């Protein structure tokens, strides 16, 4: 019987080649799209599940909520002080580690080479997160030991057999030698961590003059805290206890006449390592994250596409029913019952679904590299073993075959032989079938139009993000990085002068914010009549920054380095004399429009000449009187998805991270000239420069 059903089904498809082609390939395209999207959804949901014991590994996050503006700033990072207090007060913590991200300079044959994604840990990182080891030890048992990934070992030593070798770097102006005790396998791409090397280090000693603030500052979110909890720990109860823990540990800070507590606008959250990638907190993440709503949307789109393919399949089957009416009538006359007919037609539907799935798998395999590259995801297809898709594919074939063939099977099996054969009729429309097909077609078109609209909206949003006016002239800028290296702390003025001499250079300026930044440096401004300070971004710049960036001055004047009150430099590391002097003397600053509004001025011109007190130095030295001498137009230095920042631009000769160079002429020639000038000043710091077009991509 089954052989007969199969033969009839194949002959029916062979007899109607156009119908078979449209039906099979239409279904295959829908299945292929559904498979690709669901593979991406699975990939996103499986972040860090490969870590052994991941159920008990957690990240400690700092979440800020501004009572002034209602805005949230959710960080994956937290302070060293929070990590120490957490380990001290919660016996549920089996082990914890504070991880400090760094980009030391690697020294090889006397040459300085830039590095990325290095972690300095205050304890045995691998005891908390057991990353897979290729060779050597899986523990950092004492300070100045390190492990590197296989790729990093090949980059630095030309071999992955690097155990026993010495990793020599310069970090914070210090020459550090680490003994490599292990080589890690490269981390999978579906990890929230991005690590090339992990070195165990005495962090307070490493911080030098910054150690006191580093160890005691609860508002300094400079690293990541990971912890391994004891099995069976009630994480919800531990989370609930954090409110009381915070009150016990965070001291009040008295600044002038104001009491500030870092816990007033800050909450801490314990997040399982498997959930970090999709957690609400994405500021300070090692890798770009995602959110559950986006993933759910992808899953819904996949099901809608599959649903459209099934509806199309059902419509074609019911529309073709009239051509098979006499076949059904004759089968019934010859003794076939309704159950046998339903079985036959669902079997034919499953045959079509199986053929479509074979083609869909081929389509998915062929398009997988392009799709994965577009999404920057490490997608792959395996059919057997852990993560194999063979069983899901079989289930999908059964689901599509049954759903797509169920109604046509019942519809065809209802034909009455007498009604069909009477007067040799070949048509046998059943009441209501046309109406159902119309409903299905309308639904199909509605979903298609909805998806087209969504695609158009996403495209237009992308175009908008690329073309929106950032508030400054973003074209023809070179952003030179590494300016914050210790070796260059006193060389900033000389670097600026040398860069100005390069042919094609129009303007040079230093800044802590750059073309597009992840930096967050905020301070409080005391506004008369407001119970709490107003939070304003605080970034050091120099007198050349405005022209280098093309900022628009709309009131007052820009910073002038020839005026002593415009210089608010605090020598680095923290210089007590400079801070005391600055708190007594005060200085001048420039703000953007949004900062002026936050400080209470609807008209930017009204802000010029007004004096406030701001926390520009450590709290023990008091507040600094600052006078606004200029207001610039709002400029966007972050993603279009992030609200504009209120910013105070503070004139200084130190404390910058980027050198901004506006140029004309040949970009390659200008970059080469800048590199020659840089290397003429320092050989210990690599030249790292990007054009503004590359920074904002």
- Is the residue at 136 inside a domain? yes
499 exposure class (CB count in 10 Å sphere: 0-12, 13-18, 19+)? buried
Last residue of one domain, picked from the residues 430, 462, 494: 462
pLDDT tens, position by position, 644-673: 889 999 999 888 889 999 999 999 999 999
CB neighbours of 369 closer than 8 A, spacing ≥ 6? none
435: phi then psi, degrees, rounded to nearest 5: -65, -40
Q: Which residues of 511-548 are buried (b: 16+ CB within 10 A; e: fewer)?
A: bbbbbbbeeeebbbbbbeeeebbbbbbbbbbbbbbbbb
Q: Residue 119: name the closest of 92, 146, 82, 96 by CA.
A: 146
> Do 327 and 359 sit in the same domain of this protein?
yes
Last residue of one domain, picked from the residues 250, 275, 300: 275
Q: Encoding tokens for residue 128? A: 């908390």
Q: Which residues of 236-271 are buried (b: 16+ CB within 10 A; e: fewer)?
A: eebeeebeebbeebbeebebeebebebbebbebbbb
- Is the residue at 287 inside a domain? no
pLDDT score recorded for residue 361: 92
Scan for tokens 């509605």, then name that residue.
446
Domain count, the chain: 3
pLDDT tens, position by position, 40-94: 999 999 999 999 999 999 999 999 887 766 778 889 999 999 999 999 999 999 9
pLDDT score recorded for residue 407: 66
> Do 236 and 304 sit in the same domain of this protein?
no
> Do 26 and 88 sit in the same domain of this protein?
no
Round to the nearest angstrom and report the end-to-end CA distance of the chain.
62
Sign for the CA dihedral angle at 205, 206, 212, 217 comes to negative
> What is the C-alpha separation between 94 and 83, in angstroms, rounded?
13
Rounded to 5 degrees, what angle do the CA atoms 589, 590, 596 make? Answer: 115
- Is the residue at 121 inside a domain? yes
pLDDT beneath 50: ranges in the chain? 423, 426-428, 431
Q: Residue 405: name the closest of 332, 359, 341 by CA.
A: 341
CB neighbours of 498 closer than 8 A, spacing ≥ 6? 677, 680, 681
Q: Is 655 in contact with 540 (CB distance < 8 Å)? A: yes
CA separation (Å) from 475 to 228, 550, 632, 641, 691? 47, 9, 19, 21, 9
Q: Is 214 in contact with 207 (CB distance < 8 Å)? A: yes
- Tell me the HSE value of 54 on the side-chain side, using a 13 A CA sphere: 16
Q: Is 110 left (phi over 0), alpha (psi -120 to 50) or beta?
A: left
66: phi then psi, degrees, rounded to nearest 5: -80, 120
Q: Encoding tokens for residue 571? A: 């020598």
Q: Residue 514: name the closest of 634, 636, 616, 629 by CA.
A: 636
> Do 108 and 229 sit in the same domain of this protein?
yes
Q: Beta partners for 177? A: 168
- Is the residue at 468 inside a domain? no
Q: Encoding tokens for residue 166? A: 């010495």
> Do 371 and 410 sit in the same domain of this protein?
yes
- Is the residue at 640 inside a domain? yes
- By residue range, what is the domain housing residue 113? 54-275
Q: Is 622 left (phi over 0), alpha (psi -120 to 50) or beta?
A: left
3-state SS, residue 670: helix
- Number of other CB atoms surrounding residue 176 within 10 Å: 18
Q: Encoding tokens for residue 125? A: 């990182």
Q: Residue 227: name the closest of 84, 48, 60 by CA.
A: 60
> Do 250 and 311 sit in the same domain of this protein?
no
> Do 452 and 596 sit in the same domain of this protein?
no
Q: Is 194 in contact with 117 (CB distance < 8 Å)? A: yes
pLDDT score recorded for residue 423: 47
> Do 607 and 685 sit in the same domain of this protein?
yes
Q: Could you check whether the bond before residue 108 is cis, i.e. omega within 30 degrees of 0? A: no
Q: Encoding tokens for residue 490? A: 């006193």
Q: Is 428 in contact with 296 (CB distance < 8 Å)? A: no
- Is the residue at 318 inside a domain? yes
3-state SS, residue 374: helix
Q: Is 283 in contact with 520 (CB distance < 8 Å)? A: yes
> Do 340 and 214 sit in the same domain of this protein?
no
Last residue of one domain, picked from the residues 407, 439, 462: 462
- Is the residue at 285 inside a domain? no
Q: Encoding tokens for residue 669? A: 């020639």
Q: Is 685 in contact with 112 (CB distance < 8 Å)? A: yes
> What is the C-alpha separation between 315 and 296, in angstroms, rounded?
28
Instruction: Transcribe 58-120 into DSSP letters.
Output: EEEEEEEE-TTT--EEEES-B-HHHHHHHHHH-TTEEEEEEEEEE-PEEEETTEEEE---EEE
> What is the C-alpha separation between 77 and 88, in angstroms, rounded?
19
Q: Is 78 in contact with 60 (CB distance < 8 Å)? A: yes
> Do 550 and 577 sit in the same domain of this protein?
yes
- Is the residue at 281 inside a domain? no
Q: Is 659 in contact with 548 (CB distance < 8 Å)? A: no
> Do 488 and 450 sit in the same domain of this protein?
no
Q: Residue 609: name the closest of 629, 589, 623 by CA.
A: 629
Question: Any idea what DSSP says for residue 184?
Answer: E
> What is the C-alpha separation between 246 and 263, in angstroms, rounded?
7
pLDDT score recorded for residue 387: 73
> Do 220 and 74 sit in the same domain of this protein?
yes
């Amino acid at each position: 019987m089954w052989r007969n059903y199969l033969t009839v089904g194949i002959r029916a498809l062979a007899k109607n080649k156009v119908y078979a082609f449209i039906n099979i390939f239409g279904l295959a395209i829908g299945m292929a799209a559904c498979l690709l999207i669901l593979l991406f959804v699975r990939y996103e949901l499986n972040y860090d599940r490969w870590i052994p014991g991941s159920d008990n590994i957690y990240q400690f996050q700092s979440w800020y909520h501004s009572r002034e503006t209602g805005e949230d700033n959710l960080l994956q990072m937290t302070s060293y002080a929070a990590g120490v207090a957490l380990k001290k007060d919660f016996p549920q913590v089996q082990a914890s580690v504070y991880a400090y991200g760094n980009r030391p300079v690697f020294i090889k044959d006397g040459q300085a080479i830039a590095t990325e994604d290095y972690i300095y840990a205050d304890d045995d990182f691998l005891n908390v997160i057991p990353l897979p080891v290729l060779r050597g030890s899986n523990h950092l048992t004492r300070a100045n030991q390190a492990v590197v990934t296989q790729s990093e070992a090949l980059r630095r030593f030309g071999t992955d057999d690097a155990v026993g070798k010495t990793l020599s770097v310069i970090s914070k102006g210090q020459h550090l030698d680490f003994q490599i005790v292990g080589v890690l396998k490269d981390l999978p791409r579906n990890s929230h961590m991005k690590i090339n090397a992990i070195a165990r280090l005495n962090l307070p000693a490493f911080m030098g003059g910054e150690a006191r603030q580093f160890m005691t500052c609860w508002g300094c979110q400079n690293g990541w805290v990971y912890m391994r909890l004891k099995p069976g720990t009630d994480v919800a109860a531990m989370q609930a206890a954090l409110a009381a823990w915070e009150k016990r540990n965070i001291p009040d800070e008295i600044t002038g006449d104001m009491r500030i507590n870092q816990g007033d606008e800050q909450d801490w959250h314990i997040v399982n390592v498997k959930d970090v990638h999709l957690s609400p907190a994405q500021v300070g993440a090692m890798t770009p994250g995602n959110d559950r709503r986006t993933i759910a949307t992808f899953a819904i789109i996949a099901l809608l596409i599959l649903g459209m393919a099934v509806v199309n399949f059902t419509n074609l089957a019911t529309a073709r029913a009239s051509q098979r009416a006499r076949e059904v009538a004759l089968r019934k006359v010859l003794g076939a019952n309704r159950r046998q007919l339903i079985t036959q037609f669902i079997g034919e539907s499953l045959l079509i679904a199986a053929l479509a799935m074979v083609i869909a798998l081929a389509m998915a395999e062929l398009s997988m590299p392009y799709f994965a590259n577009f999404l920057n995801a490490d997608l792959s297809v395996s059919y057997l073993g852990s993560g194999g898709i063979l069983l899901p594919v079989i289930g999908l074939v059964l689901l599509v075959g049954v759903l797509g063939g169920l109604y046509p099977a019942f519809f065809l099996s209802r034909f009455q032989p007498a009604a069909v054969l009477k007067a040799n009729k070949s048509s046998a429309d059943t009441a209501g079938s046309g109406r159902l097909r119309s409903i299905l077609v309308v639904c199909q078109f509605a979903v298609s139009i909805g998806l087209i609209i969504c695609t158009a909206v996403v495209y237009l949003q992308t175009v908008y993000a690329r073309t929106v006016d950032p508030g400054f002239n973003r074209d023809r800028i070179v952003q030179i990085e590494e300016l914050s290296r210790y070796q260059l702390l006193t060389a900033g003025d000389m670097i600026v002068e040398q860069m100005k001499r390069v042919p094609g250079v129009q303007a040079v300026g230093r800044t802590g914010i750059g073309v597009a930044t992840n930096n967050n440096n905020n301070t409080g401004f005391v506004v008369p009549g407001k119970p709490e300070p107003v939070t304003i971004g605080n970034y050091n710049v120099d007198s050349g920054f405005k022209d280098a960036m093309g900022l628009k001055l709309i009131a007052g004047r820009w910073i002038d380095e020839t005026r002593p009150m415009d210089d608010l430099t605090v020598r680095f590391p923290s210089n007590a004399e400079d801070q005391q002097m600055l708190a007594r003397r005060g200085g001048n600053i420039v703000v953007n429009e949004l900062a002026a509004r936050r400080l209470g001025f609807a008209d930017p011109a009204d802000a010029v000449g007004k004096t406030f007190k701001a926390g520009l130095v450590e709290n023990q030295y008091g507040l600094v009187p600052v006078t606004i001498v200029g207001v610039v137009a709002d400029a966007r230095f972050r993603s279009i998805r992030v609200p504009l920042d209120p910013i105070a631009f503070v004139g200084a000769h130190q404390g910058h991270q980027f050198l901004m160079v506006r140029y004309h002429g040949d970009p390659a020639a200008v970059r080469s000239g800048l590199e020659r000038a840089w290397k003429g000043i320092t050989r210990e710091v690599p030249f790292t420069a990007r054009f503004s077009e590359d920074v904002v991509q």
